[in-house]
Amino acid sequence: MRVALGQFNATVGDLTGNAEKMRNMYSQALQSDVDLLAFPELAVCGYPPEDLLYKKHFLHDSRSALEKLAADCPDTTIIVGFAESHQGSTYNSAAVLQNGRVAQIYRKAMLPNFSVFDEQRYFQPGTEPVVINLKDVTIALTICFDISNIEWLSKFLKDIGQVQMVLNISASPFHLGKIEKREELISQCAKEFNCAVSYCNLVGGQDELVFDGRSMFANSTGKLIAKAKAFDEDLLIADIIPGGSLKPALSEVEGRSLGMATPQDAVRVQVKPMRPAAPQPADILDEVYQALVLGTRDYAWKNSFKKVLLGVSGGIDSSVTAAIAVAALGADNVICLTMPSKFNSPETINDAQKLARNLGVKLMTVPIEPVLNQFHETLKTVPGWDNKGIAYENLQARIRGSILMSLSNQFGALVLTTGNKSEISVGYATLYGDTAGGFAVIKDVPKTMVYKLAEHINEVAGRKIIPADVIARPPSAELKPDQKDTDSLPDYDLLDKIVKGYVEEDKSPQQLIESGLPHDVVNNVIRMVDRNEYKRRQSPPGVRITPRAFGKDRRLPITNRYTTCTDKA
Amino acid sequence: MRVALGQFNATVGDLTGNAEKMRNMYSQALQSDVDLLAFPELAVCGYPPEDLLYKKHFLHDSRSALEKLAADCPDTTIIVGFAESHQGSTYNSAAVLQNGRVAQIYRKAMLPNFSVFDEQRYFQPGTEPVVINLKDVTIALTICFDISNIEWLSKFLKDIGQVQMVLNISASPFHLGKIEKREELISQCAKEFNCAVSYCNLVGGQDELVFDGRSMFANSTGKLIAKAKAFDEDLLIADIIPGGSLKPALSEVEGRSLGMATPQDAVRVQVKPMRPAAPQPADILDEVYQALVLGTRDYAWKNSFKKVLLGVSGGIDSSVTAAIAVAALGADNVICLTMPSKFNSPETINDAQKLARNLGVKLMTVPIEPVLNQFHETLKTVPGWDNKGIAYENLQARIRGSILMSLSNQFGALVLTTGNKSEISVGYATLYGDTAGGFAVIKDVPKTMVYKLAEHINEVAGRKIIPADVIARPPSAELKPDQKDTDSLPDYDLLDKIVKGYVEEDKSPQQLIESGLPHDVVNNVIRMVDRNEYKRRQSPPGVRITPRAFGKDRRLPITNRYTTCTDKA
């Protein structure tokens, strides 16, 4: 039996566009005589549709789009995810399309409701397994999280008899370390049921999420046989070949026995891919880089922006953001703006120019000094105003934000912000200043990784796109004379360790201190993280690359008096 | 048996402060010899604690606070809500405190996961009813949503035998129409079980939510006997008096039989309040006004702001916001700023001054013209910039936002924004301009209701606090010559109908048009609503007063190509 995995880039709500993409892949798949073509979870409407699912007309239109797809694609069996309204409930379902109509429906049983997922907000769980038979291959249908708990899945499928393949259609977003977990699950699933697994994942950016694709097949020993492209559309085709011996699944004879299939066992169900494996990201940095590029491109394009605009300071964050923007949208579509004040050194201004030349992008210069002076003239009539403190520093950032937004309005270009995760964690940013913009490209990238990304970008390009000085110079916001980030913040190595422990792993200050991190710094950083929730709440979305970003996966109250700090301050 | 309902204003995360408030109410209750003192759902940690619940140390500290409360308050039975960690799961629980310790625990079984609620993200459902007996009164414990489905509750409680009282501890946020539904449920519950119901609700503002209190008792005929204050703390005490005849609940003899208890039935369980009912809001406007005042006060105070700052234009929105701020925080703590440009008429400037005098607040004037001119001088070096279009209008709003934020930074005052729900719906606001600030007081109040609130404020004050001209003048953003809101928007009467139907009720354009609203306007408004999700995402929180605000109860993707518009534009 020949299976094609239609890994395509869906857009939420674009019922017509998504169907069009699926029809194109269908035509392509027919040329390879496939028996089964799978599309991702909720492929009809895109993932996650969020509260669109509360609209009856949305569910109705989704159903119509599904039925039209069935009618348009009668010549093979298609499995496709859609949001199903059925007897007053909504389900996250997989439709089996055959002979021009919806032949059968499987309803997702395990609904994730943690991290970025809110599926129990919308869906009722399905309760019945669905098995289909194609060319004498029996196939159990599953959706994404259904295979996350193999023990549960074994019970769920125990009455359906033995299958030769588990098909999983998925919309599994990327974060660092996710692919390893996903491969482990798929492999476990194959071994548990002693069958092949076909896994079709979504690809593309959707607000803060990036779906990384990498659809794959595993044979019945759990070996991963073929993998589709990462961060790109792909149609991955393989033959599923059940062997002669229909020996029972391990679990049926000995209970749950993961990993007990030994290499010398005959392979019960083989997988023969139609072409060599797609190249995969070289390492973690390559993975992150590709995620950022795709996330940025899709946010711009799917929101109908061709061009982006960003401020470049000659610092590392804006340099890396600019390089990613160019990779995402092309140099012609990236406009850089440098907005110097008296606090900007000639070196950083020079580096901004060098960067723009290296990237081949337009650089405009709009000095902020005259506006800043006029603001000061105006504000000094207010008792208590002065041009020494934080307010004056923030004002500079807000003037820059206003200039960027003014030109964005004028030119219809999306403003990219350039803040990294480390500064966003501790609120080392000016609200409506450097946080002003539509998309925050590196908001989930810790500063220490921003440096590594800069080097990765230079390495891949084979030249110093990001000038060496930008990487070497100690970071500064350049909002007052001789300012350094380290005046206000600990070294980024240390800061990033605390942020990871506190934000991503929910560790207490006590645990962090016990792990060897310095007491005072831990307490100070955590206080800053807690106090700056209000800033993050008003900041733009950006690509999630870690297991916990500042987005839908971290929901903390602004009004929050809980403190775990172990000192009295 | 004497029951006290401890309706207090908890702060999320303030384990020490919340316990202190409960201890004070305990002392007060002891003076009235109460047998049972109830506190709201999750009273120990405040509601909703959101992702604090993912922190093990938070759950641990909550448990310690609970046990200390038990030890500090040994002399009556207390029922109090807390977040319970038990065998690796987290529960939304009610502890029974007796003799200085946690004697028993009930775990909430019905976990809401819609609207503003995410309880299935955090909690496992409980599966066992808990009944306690005090002074020969048997009491079933329930938590908030447990009583939302009386049919389910009947089944859940069917094995516990007959009770004389259902106690419900709750954290039920306010929105228009909520109190009627709540009273109906409580009454239904009393009738179904033929018993008294004691309902203890939380009070206070927490980010966008306002809990309105109004704890109450119902007797076994479903009659509401006593009600605590709205939007304020209160300790409501009543005697629960079971009658002689222990006839079985209606449901036991005739199945589910809501509303079948007739007036001539003997009252099986009576309720005798210790004092007359607390005065309740006079009408819907009074309710909304009180919600806005409490929500604003609590957001400021709980986030450690004494003072607030806002721009007043002489328009209706900023006038109403200023009046609410004064009611919330006192005239001495409200600083108003008028920031005129050449587009502001002498009349509106004059009205801003009149308003400030009427409210007794400080008014500062900071003209934006010089800064605006300097911005224009700077930006006109950029090809394509001009001072005619939207960009120039937005720039004026952003200069005002920057001035407000600068003074906020300088003085440590919270900036209040003044946008109403109608304009926020259609994006008739400048991001980082008039949306710049920490709290958006009237963000969920439709423009038509803003006018009614203005009249309500004047009526209650018995004088024209908000000048008559402000109410009479056609609304204008005053960002270009002779501008009127109606240049860009339909009349607010019509706009508010469409917004209510589309945003709050999930109606399709087709349904709205079929209900008699004009085709073109419906389509235009819906397009504007859909396109401006990105602005709302970066806007500050504000008080929720409708069944669906732009907050946690409306989660739509920014990237969203779904369109239901029935024309081709």
| DSSP states along A261-294 | --TTS--SEEEEESSPPPP--SSHHHHHHHHHHH
pLDDT at A568: 53
Measured between beta carbons, which residues in chain B are less than 8 angstroms from residue A394? 405-406, 409
Q: Tell me, what DSSP letter sits at residue B323?
A: H
Measured between beta carbons, which residues in chain A are less than 8 angstroms from residue B299? 559
Cα–Cα distance for residue pair A174/A546, rounded to 1 Å: 8
> Measured between CA atoms, how close is A439 to chain B, in angstroms?
10
With a CB cutoff of 8 Å and minimum separation 6, the contacts of A497 are A517
pLDDT at A128: 97
pLDDT, tens digit (0-9, with 9 covering 90-100), for B208-261 = 999 999 999 999 999 999 999 999 999 999 999 998 544 444 443 343 344 444
Mutate to test the interface with B, among A371, A417, A479, A511 (most CBs of B within 10 A): A371
Measured between beta carbons, which residues in chain A are less than 8 angstroms from residue B410? 382, 384-386, 389, 391
Domains of chain B and CATH, by start: 2-273 (3.60.110.10), 284-486 (3.40.50.620)
Closest residue on chain A to B554 (Cα): A51
Q: Which two tokens stand for residue B446?
A: 């439709």
Residue of A54, A391, A555 with shortest CB distance to B50? A555
Active site (catalytic) residues of B: 41, 108, 144
Measured between beta carbons, which residues in chain B are less than 8 angstroms from residue A562? 12-15, 45, 49, 52, 58, 61
> Measured between CA atoms, how close is A19 to chain B, in angstroms?
13
User: Are B13 and A299 an interchain contact pair (Cβ–Cβ within 8 Å)?
Assistant: no
> Measured between CA atoms, how close is A406 to chain B, in angstroms?
5
> How confident is the model over B539-557, as a mean pLDDT?
97
pLDDT, tens digit (0-9, with 9 covering 90-100), for B455-513 = 999 999 999 999 999 999 999 988 888 889 988 899 999 999 999 999 999 999 999 99
> What is the β-pairing status of strands B2-7 and B203-206?
unpaired
Q: Tell me, what DSSP letter sits at residue A295?
A: H
pLDDT, tens digit (0-9, with 9 covering 90-100), for B417-444 = 999 999 999 999 999 999 999 999 999 9
pLDDT at A403: 97
Q: Are A291 and A231 in contact (CB under 8 A)?
A: yes
pLDDT at residue B111 tops 50: yes
User: Are B52 and A562 an interchain contact pair (Cβ–Cβ within 8 Å)?
Assistant: yes
User: Are B561 and A366 an interchain contact pair (Cβ–Cβ within 8 Å)?
Assistant: no
User: Are A409 and B399 an interchain contact pair (Cβ–Cβ within 8 Å)?
Assistant: no
Measured between beta carbons, which residues in chain A are less than 8 angstroms from residue B375? 371, 402-403, 406
Positive/negative CA dihedral, B395, B397, B400, B406: negative
Q: Are A213 and A198 in contact (CB under 8 A)?
A: no
Measured between beta carbons, which residues in chain A are less than 8 angstroms from residue B50? 555-557
Measured between beta carbons, which residues in chain A are less than 8 angstroms from residue B563? 13
User: Are A57 and B379 an interchain contact pair (Cβ–Cβ within 8 Å)?
Assistant: no
With a CB cutoff of 8 Å and minimum separation 6, the contacts of A211 are A40, A47, A171, A172, A173, A174, A201, A202, A203, A204, A205
pLDDT at B258: 45
Residue of A51, A394, A538 with shortest CB distance to B538? A538
Residue of B371, B432, B539 with shortest CB distance to A378? B371
Q: Are A84 and A78 in contact (CB under 8 A)?
A: no
Residue of A54, A381, A385 with shortest CB distance to B506? A54
pLDDT at A31: 98
Residue of A303, A411, A432 with shortest CB distance to B436? A432
pLDDT at residue B157 tops 70: yes
> What is the β-pairing status of strands A196-201 and A203-206?
unpaired
pLDDT at A195: 97
CB pairs under 8 A between A and B: 257
User: Are B395 and A406 an interchain contact pair (Cβ–Cβ within 8 Å)?
Assistant: yes
pLDDT, tens digit (0-9, with 9 covering 90-100), for B124-150 = 999 999 999 999 999 999 999 999 999
User: Are B12 and A561 an interchain contact pair (Cβ–Cβ within 8 Å)?
Assistant: yes
Measured between beta carbons, which residues in chain B are less than 8 angstroms from residue A555? 50-51, 118
pLDDT at A551: 95
ipTM score assigned to the predicted complex: 0.94
Cα–Cα distance for residue pair A329/A335, rounded to 1 Å: 11
> What is the β-pairing status of strands B137-143 and B165-170?
parallel
Closest residue on chain A to B507 (Cα): A55
pLDDT, tens digit (0-9, with 9 covering 90-100), for B286-331 = 999 999 999 999 999 999 999 999 999 999 999 999 999 999 999 9
Q: Radius of gyration (Cα) for chain A, nearest Å?
A: 26
> Measured between CA atoms, how close is A358 to chain B, in angstroms?
22
Q: Which of A21, A73, A84, A108 is catalytic?
A: A108
User: Are A561 and B398 an interchain contact pair (Cβ–Cβ within 8 Å)?
Assistant: no
* Adjacent-strand bridge partners of B384: none
User: Are A557 and B298 an interchain contact pair (Cβ–Cβ within 8 Å)?
Assistant: no
- Residue A234 — φ and ψ, nearest 5°? -165, 150
User: Are A557 and B49 an interchain contact pair (Cβ–Cβ within 8 Å)?
Assistant: yes
Cα–Cα distance for residue pair B165/B155, rounded to 1 Å: 17
Q: In angstroms, what CA-CA distances link B47 with A512, B89, B210?
A: 27, 19, 10
User: Are B406 and A381 an interchain contact pair (Cβ–Cβ within 8 Å)?
Assistant: no
Give the angle subtended at the CA of A291 by the CAs of A286 and A292, to the nearest 5°: 100
User: Are A559 and B370 an interchain contact pair (Cβ–Cβ within 8 Å)?
Assistant: no
Measured between beta carbons, which residues in chain A are less than 8 angstroms from residue B56? 506, 508
- Residue A96 — φ and ψ, nearest 5°? -100, 115
> What is the β-pairing status of strands A36-38 and A2-7?
parallel
For chain A of 569 residues, list the mean pLDDT of each consecutive stretch of 10. Answer: 98 98 98 98 98 97 98 98 98 98 98 98 98 97 97 96 96 98 98 98 98 98 96 98 59 42 68 93 97 98 98 97 98 97 92 98 97 97 90 96 94 96 97 97 98 98 96 91 90 97 96 96 96 97 98 96 74
User: Are B391 and A410 an interchain contact pair (Cβ–Cβ within 8 Å)?
Assistant: yes
pLDDT at A461: 95
Residue of A57, A398, A557 with shortest CB distance to B508? A57
Whose structure tokens read 């001539």? B264
Cα–Cα distance for residue pair A240/A164, rounded to 1 Å: 9
